[in-house]
Amino acid sequence: MATDEPAQHASQDFTEEGAIEVAWGQVDQYEIVRKLGRGRSSEVFEGIRLVDYQRCAIKSLKPAEKTKVVNEIKMLQTLRGGPNIIQLWDVVVDPRSNTTSLIFELVDNVDFRSLYPLLDDNEIRYYLRELLRALEFCHSKGVMHRGVTPHNVVIDHSKRKLRLIDFGSSSTCMPGTTYDVRLGRVFGAPELLLDFEEYDYSLDMWCLGEMLASMIFRIQPFFHGFSRLNCLEQIATTLGTKGLLNYIERYDMDAPDVDDIPVHEGRSWTSYVTHENGGLANDVAIDLVDRLLRWDHQDRLTATKALEHPYFASLEEGTRL
Give the DSSP letter string of 201-238.
Answer: THHHHHHHHHHHHHHHHT-SSSS--SSHHHHHHHHHHH
- Domain spans, the chain: 11-105, 112-312
Query: In angstroms, rounded to a whole number, what is the distance separating the alpha carbons of residues 302 and 136?
Result: 8
pLDDT category, 10, cuts 50, 70, 90? very low
pLDDT band at 321 (very low <50, low <70, confident <90, very high): low
pLDDT(29) > 90: yes
Helix (H) or strand (E) holding 275: none
- 157 within 8 A of 112, measured Cβ to Cβ: no
The model's pTM = 0.91
pLDDT band at 318 (very low <50, low <70, confident <90, very high): low
pLDDT at 22: 85
Lowest mean pLDDT among 72-76, 121-125, 180-184, 299-303: 180-184
CATH annotation of 11-105: 3.30.200.20
User: How many whole angstroms from its chain centre is CA 278?
Assistant: 27
> Is 66 labeled as ligand-binding?
no
Q: Considering Cα of 218, then 281, then 305, then 160, what sign does the dihedral take?
A: negative
The pLDDT value recorded for residue 188 is 85
Q: How far apart are CA 212 and CA 195, in angstroms?
A: 24
Q: Give the three-state DSSP class for 235.
A: helix
Q: What is the pLDDT of residue 97?
A: 86
Q: Which of 104, 187, 200, 198 is nearest to 147 (CA)?
A: 187
Amino acid at 123: E
CATH of 112-312, one of 3.40.630.30, 1.10.510.10, 3.40.50.80, 3.40.1080.10: 1.10.510.10
